[in-house]
Amino acid sequence: MEAGVIGEQSAQTDVRTPDGKRLAVEVTGAPDGSPVFLLHGTPGSRSGIKPRGILLYRQGVRLICYDRPGYGRSERREGRRVVDAAADVEAIADALEIDRFAVVGRSGGGPHALAVAAMLPQRVTRAAVLVSIAPADAAGLDWYRGMSASNVDEYQAADTDRGSLMASLTSQADRMRRDPESLVAFLDKELSDPDRRVIGNVAMRRKITDSYAEAVRYGAEGWIDDALAFRRNWGFEPSSIRVPVRLWHGADDQFSPVSHTHWLAAQIRGAEIEVAQGAGHFAAVEILPRMLTWLTETGVVAADKPAATVQPIRTGAGRAPGTPVVLRAAR
């Protein structure tokens, strides 16, 4: 691990992976708190929206964020797959001398969080996945139904016209470096009313656009590689996950349709699912503090043990494996 700049409750550092690639890492919150990895969206960066350091400190959370390869200050790993996130998280955990930890992924970070849970079951205590997509080959799922036109165009280009995908995302990244507000403006016509409410908050909008700007600091490579990785085989099966998983989705999400989370819930043994009525894609940033509380609760057990021993809400004891459990509709 290379030396970082230490702040009152945060640190920026670089970690080298076994293949020598640099990963840019940010650690915030309580230095002796429960470690949680937060995996950013697409596009996104380690500087994405998160609770302030002092709030994390009070919550007893040590939050670790990093730029996926090709984003921000992390070096590109061309051809990476979703499953490769597990090795990156493991390298960071080793460098920070963290044995066990929880993981949460938001939007494009969702599949990567599932990869970490699947591949590192002896180290991951719990996993939360917010507004995620499902694998491209998800059996029985109409993958594009309910998805925004811009996302459909992006993913279809990943399948059939890689050159067009690269040109489009490179052009968008160039605009974002000049004007970080440009992506939000581009998406404006596709925002649901609940998302307009979130984006309408000036402070929230600024944090989102700052994260986008950092994501494409040196180009669109991370964004391109994410799109390609999502549409090829992820390298693991969600059904192989055996750690406790909670899935959250806004019912009015037009970027990652809620049907994707329902599909994931049906695959992951013992998964809890919460669908929030009247919420969209960007509401995932508001739900994060509550998810951090769940992730750092004590008394964690494996997902194939009776879930009623974990927390007071019944999570499907007696149901067939893979049956999704609706906890409640968030208000």
* CB of 88 closer than 8 Å to CB of 69: yes
Structural domain includes residue 218: yes
Helix axes 85-95, 109-119, angle to 10 degrees: 70
DSSP state of 248: E
Distance CA 168, CA 225 (A): 13
Cis amide prior to 180 (ω within 30 degrees): no
* Cα 228–chain centre separation: 16
Q: In this model, does residue 331 exceed pLDDT 70?
A: no
* Closest residue by Cα to residue 60 from 34, 37, 99, 98: 34
Structural domain includes residue 223: yes
Structural domain includes residue 271: yes
The angle at the Cα of 166, spanning 163 to 169, to the nearest 5 degrees, equals 145
In Å, what is the CA distance from 23 to each residue of 44, 71, 108? Answer: 14, 9, 18
| Number of independent structural domains in the chain | 1
- Work out the pLDDT band at 183, boundaries 50, 70, 90: confident
Structural domain includes residue 94: yes
The CATH number of the domain holding residue 235 is 3.40.50.1820
Structural domain includes residue 118: yes
Query: Tell me, what's the pLDDT at 9?
Result: 54
Structural domain includes residue 21: yes
Domain range for 92 is 2-326
> What are residue 7's DSSP bridge partners?
none
Find the range with the poorest average confidence among 148-152, 189-193, 236-240, 282-286: 189-193
Q: In this model, does residue 4 exceed pLDDT 90?
A: no
Taking residues 27-31, report their average pLDDT. 96
Query: Tell me, what's the pLDDT at 327?
Result: 58
3-state secondary structure of 98: coil
- Work out the pLDDT band at 299, boundaries 50, 70, 90: low
Structural domain includes residue 331: no
For strands 10-16 and 2-6, give the pairing: antiparallel
Query: Tell me, what's the pLDDT at 234?
Result: 98
Average pLDDT, the chain: 89
Distance CA 65, CA 111 (A): 16
Sign of CA dihedral 150, 44, 232, 238: negative
Query: Tell me, what's the pLDDT at 309?
Result: 26
Provide the strand spans (E) within the chain: 2-6, 10-16, 22-29, 34-39, 61-66, 101-106, 124-130, 245-250, 272-276, 325-326
Taking residues 165-186, report their average pLDDT. 91
Taking residues 209-231, report their average pLDDT. 96
Q: In this model, does residue 304 exceed pLDDT 50?
A: no
Find the range with the poorest average confidence among 40-44, 85-89, 204-208, 273-277: 204-208
- Work out the pLDDT band at 326, boundaries 50, 70, 90: low
- Work out the pLDDT band at 314, boundaries 50, 70, 90: very low
Distance CA 228, CA 244 (A): 28
Q: In this model, does residue 320 exceed pLDDT 80?
A: no
Distance CA 237, CA 235 (A): 7
pLDDT in tens, 112-146: 999 999 999 999 999 999 999 999 999 999 999 99
Taking residues 40-49, report their average pLDDT. 96
**Higher-pLDDT residue of 187, 281:** 281
Distance CA 43, CA 226 (A): 8
* CB of 217 closer than 8 Å to CB of 279: no
Structural domain includes residue 193: yes
Find the range with the poorest average confidence among 9-18, 71-80, 276-285: 9-18
Find the range with the poorest average confidence among 22-26, 52-56, 97-101: 52-56
Full strand arrangement of the beta sheet holding 325-326: 2-6, 10-16, 22-29, 61-66, 34-39, 101-106, 124-130, 245-250, 272-276, 325-326
Query: Tell me, what's the pLDDT at 10?
Result: 72
**Higher-pLDDT residue of 120, 53:** 120
